Structure formats: C-alpha cells, structure tokens
Structure 1
C-alpha cells in the first residue's frame, strides 16, 4: 500500500501532537507530585515544532499552565500562527511549495 504525501504528513502531524500532549501530561503529573518538571522553554519549543494543537489541547483538558503568563499568551500566539500557516497551505499550496523550494535553494 502506497501512502500519499499529504496523508503521510497528516499522520506525522498527528503523531507529533500526541507526543506533545503526553509531554504536557507528564509535566502536569510532575507538578502534582512535586517531581522534576519540563522547562517552559521546552514546552514552547515543542509547540513551535508543530505540536501546538497537542499543547493547546493539553493546556485546556489538563488545566495545565492556564494562568501562567507570559507562557499562556506565547502558546496562544504559536497556535494562531500555526492555524494561519495551515490556512495558507490549504488555500495556496503552490505558494507554500515555492516558498519551501526557495528556502532550500538558498541553503
């Protein structure tokens, strides 16, 4: 069975977000138990790296870092940015492909 590239990318995206959700769950459990915590910068980098859906979902479902500023605002900004990029990708896929090839060519 041959998987199409968009389908494969969707699976990778979902997997990344499940992993990020699990990291947020782990950090929430550590907070409850007074154990070693995941750095806020690491949590935000995981969101930037494509896990914003998992991070925002975990934040709401687990009630984790919902009052912590500026963490909350930064995470929301990352989520909005990812939604915007997703809309651009869906509505103008050629633009995204051309932009990525230009970036690759300049490296």
Structure 2
C-alpha cells in the first residue's frame, strides 16, 4: 500500500533524509537509493508517495519513493539550512563525477599507452556497461524486467567498469547495496590484473587481430 509524506531534513551531501507522514508522528528514514525518480533529487518540502519496508535490521524505512509534487519556492526558503546543504551536496556530487570521469579516462589512457586494442576494447565495453546500468535504472522505475546483476558484473569484469562506475553515479543506481558494491570493486581489481597479464604475455601478438 502506497503512503504519502513530505520530505524533511533531506541531507543531499550524505544521500539520506526523512519523510513526515503525519504531524507529531515518527519520521520515516529513506536513502537516495530508495528514490526512484529518473531525473532530479529529493528536496525538503517535496510531497512523495512511498511504500514501507523493513531493512536488514528489522527497522521500518521508505522504499520506492516517488515525487508527487515539488516544493514551492516559499517552502524551499522556509526549510532550515536548505540552501547551504544543497550547495554542499551539489559540490560533492560534481566532485564525485569529476573523480569518476578522470579515473575512467586515466585507465583507458593508460591502456592506450601500452595497447590500443585493449583501450578500444575497454571503451566499447564501458559504453555497453553504461547502457546496461541505464536500462536497469529505467526498468526499476517502470517496474519492468530488470537487467540481472550477473550481467552487470560480467560486463564490468570484461573491461566495462569505467562505464559502469560512471552510470552508477550519474543515475545514483546500485550505490548502496553492500554486496553489489563489493563485487563491483572486485571485478575492477580482477579486470586490471587481467589487462596487465594480457599485455605482458600477449602484447606482441595483439596487433595481428586488427
């Protein structure tokens, strides 16, 4: 059953906040990963609909949070510390995006220095991985058939992790599930080791495949 509430004390830099369902009632926690709007971010004063679900520790939290009505300019101004927190959140988001892009370019650029074929391969796989994450995010919003996590991990393992990493931060998708995050970074390490091995042992014959 869907409930309605108002976003209160949203901390964009930390990626979580609370929903006030009724006055003088306990607020409901929700994380940015529970927010399934494809564009935009939660804001204080925003009216949303959501479902209650239990977390791993048995506590109640909001899930499938969707925007019903965005806050008016007056409500934004009335939210304590809203502008300060939003600016800090925007700076933090931009910083993370810049880091991700630089990391991806550095990886592909390093590959290109040693082997153009490996760099092109990683670039193509990154595009495919970015597309897969984007499709999964859209499917989550539409509640349709999802892209399997095994497929996402497999594409990352094959060299598409720069695109996967970028997509995760662009869409705020698959960023809070601990098991997924651990497996993702494991695929990154394994892919880098595999690229090094391929270059050292097969580097001389790679150009014959062009």
1:10 aligns with 2:114: no
Runs of 4+ in 1 over 2 A off after TM superposition: 5-9, 80-86
Change (3 A) 1:49 1:84: closer
Aligned-pair Cα RMSD in Å: 2.4
Higher relative contact order, chain-length normalized (CA < 8 Å, sep 6+): 1
More helix by share: 1
| Aligned counterpart for 1:34 among listed residues 137, 143, 167 | 143
Name stretches of at least 5 consecutive residues in structure 2 with no aligned partner.
1-113, 206-210
Name stretches of at least 5 consecutive residues in structure 1 with no aligned partner.
102-107
1:97 aligns with 2:184: no
* Structure number with larger C-alpha Rg: 2
CA distance in 2, matches of 1:79, 1:98: 20
Structure 1 contact 25–58 (Cα < 8 Å) conserved = yes
More strand by share: 2
TM-score (norm 1): 0.69
TM-score (norm 2): 0.38
- Give the count of matched residue pairs: 89
